[in-house]
Chain A
Amino acid sequence: MTREHALLESAPDTAAGNTVSRRAFLAASAAAGGGLMLHLTVPGTAFAVPSKSGPGAELNAYIRIAPDGIVTIAAKNPEMGQGTKTTLPMLIAEELDVDWKNVRVEMAPVDMQKYGPQFAGGSFSTPMNWDPLRRAGAAGRQMLVTAAAQTWGVSPSECETSAGVVRHKPTGRTLKYGELAARAAKLPVPDLRTVSLKDPKDFRIIGKFTGGVDSPAIVQGKPMFGIDVTVPGMRYAVFQKCPVFGGKVVSANLDEIQSLPGVRKAFIVRANDAAAHGITNVDRLQEGVAIVADSWWAANKALQKLKVKWDEGEAVNQSTAAFEKRAAELFREAPQKTVHKEGDVDAALASAAKVLEATYSYPFIAHAPMEPQNCTAQVRDGKVEIWAPTQFPANGRTLVAKTLGVDESDVTVHMVRCGGGFGRRLSNDYMVEAAWIAREAGEPVKLIWTRQQDIQHGFFRPGGFHHFKAGLDANGKLVGFRDHFVSFSGADGDFANSANITATEQPARLIPNVEFVASLMPLNLPTGPLRAPASNALAFAFQSFFDELAHAAGRDPLEFLLELAGEPRVIPPPEGANRFMPVPGFDTGRMRGVLELVAEKSDWANRKSLPKGTGKGIAFYYSHLGYFAEVVQATVNPKTGFVKVDKVWVAGDVGSHIINPAGGINQVQGAALDGISEALGQAITIERGRVVQSNFHDFPLLRMNQAPPVEVHFRITPNPPTGLGEPALPPAVPALCNAIFAATGKRVRKLPIDPAELRSA
Chain B
Amino acid sequence: MAYTINVNGTSRTVDVEADTPLLWVLRDTLDLKGAKYGCGMGLCGACTVHINGTPTRSCITPISMVGDAQITTIEAIGETEVGRRVQQAWLELDVMQCGYCQAGQIMAATALLASNPKPTDQDIDDAMSGNLCRCATYTRIRAAIKHAAGIAHSEPTET
Interface residues in chain A, defined as those with a beta carbon under 8 Å from any beta carbon in chain B? 80-83, 209-212, 214-216, 218-225, 227-228, 230, 236, 261-262, 295-298, 300-301, 368-372, 417-422, 448, 450-451, 661-663, 665-667, 669-670, 673-674, 677, 695-697, 701-705, 707, 709-710
Contact = CB atoms under 8 A, between A and B. Distances in A.
B51 interface: no
B44 A370 contact: yes
A227 B26 CA distance: 14
B46 A370 contact: yes
B141 A704 contact: yes
B40 A369 contact: no
A211 B38 contact: no
A215 B90 contact: yes
Interface string B79-102: 000000001001110111111111
B139 interface: yes
Given A214-B99, A451-B39, A701-B132, A662 B156 contact: yes
A298 B21 CA distance: 11
A211 B102 contact: no
Contact of B40 (A225, A228, A451): A451
B28 A669 contact: no
B78 interface: yes
B21 A297 contact: yes
B2 interface: no
Interface string B32-62: 1111111111011010000000000000000
Contacts of B141: 704
A417 B100 CA distance: 9
Given A662-B156, A665-B156, A709 B96 contact: no
Contacts of A227: 33, 36-37
B128 interface: yes
22 contacts: A81-B97, A82-B97, A83-B97, A209-B159, A212-B96, A214-B99, A215-B91, A215-B96, A221-B33, A297-B28, A370-B44, A419-B36, A420-B135, A661-B156, A666-B97, A667-B97, A670-B135, A673-B139, A702-B138, A704-B131, A704-B138, A705-B126
Contacts of B116: none
A221 B132 contact: no
Contacts of A697: 41, 43
Contacts of A703: 129-130, 132, 138
Contacts of A663: 94, 97
A673 B37 contact: no
A718 B136 CA distance: 30
Contacts of B12: none
Given A215-B90, A372-B38, 4 more contacts: A212-B99, A218-B99, A371-B36, A670-B135
B75 interface: yes
Interface residues of B, number: 64
Contacts of B94: 209-212, 215, 662-663, 666
Interface of B: 16-17, 19-21, 24, 28-29, 31-41, 43-44, 46, 73-75, 77-78, 87, 90-92, 94-103, 106, 124-126, 128-142, 156-159
Most chain B CB within a 10 A radius of its CB, from A82, A227, A371, A710 = A371
Which of B19, B125, B136 has the largest count of A CB atoms less than 10 A from its CB? Answer: B136
Contacts of A298: 17
The secondary-structure label for the interface of chain A is: loop
A666 B140 contact: yes
Contacts of B99: 81, 212, 214-215, 218, 224-225, 417, 419
A383 B83 CA distance: 44
Nearest to A673: B136
B43 A696 contact: yes
A673 B137 CA distance: 9
B43 A673 contact: no
Nearest to B20: A297
B103 to A, nearest CB: 5
A705 B158 contact: no
Given A448-B37, A697-B41, A666 B90 contact: no
Contacts of A211: 91-92, 94, 158
Contacts of B140: 666, 669
A652 B102 CA distance: 27
Contacts of B87: 219-220
A306 to B, nearest CB: 16
A174 B22 CA distance: 57
A301 B78 CA distance: 34
Contact of A372 (B32, B37, B75): B37
Nearest to B41: A695
The winner among B20, B29, B43, B139 for most chain A CB atoms within 10 A is B139
A531 to B, nearest CB: 10
A82 B21 CA distance: 32
Contacts of A225: 36, 99-100
A218 B139 contact: no
Nearest to B23: A297
Given A451-B39, A662-B156, A674 B91 contact: no
Contacts of B77: 221
A296 B25 CA distance: 10
Given A211-B158, A701-B134, A705-B125, A419 B75 contact: no
Given A221-B34, A370-B135, A709-B139, A662 B100 contact: no
A230 B77 CA distance: 23
Nearest to A676: B136
B36 A220 contact: no
Contacts of A296: 24, 28
B16 to A, nearest CB: 8
A212 B40 CA distance: 28
B97 A295 contact: no
A62 B17 CA distance: 48
Chain B CB within 10 Å — which of A221, A261, A418, A709 has the most? A221
Contacts of A709: 139
Contacts of A661: 156
Given A370-B44, A370-B46, A662-B158, A695 B97 contact: no
A679 to B, nearest CB: 13
A81 B96 contact: yes
B80 to A, nearest CB: 13
Contacts of B43: 695-697
* Of listed A219, A261, A371, A450, residue having the most chain B CB within 10 A: A219
Contacts of A670: 97, 135-137
Nearest to B125: A705
Nearest to A229: B33
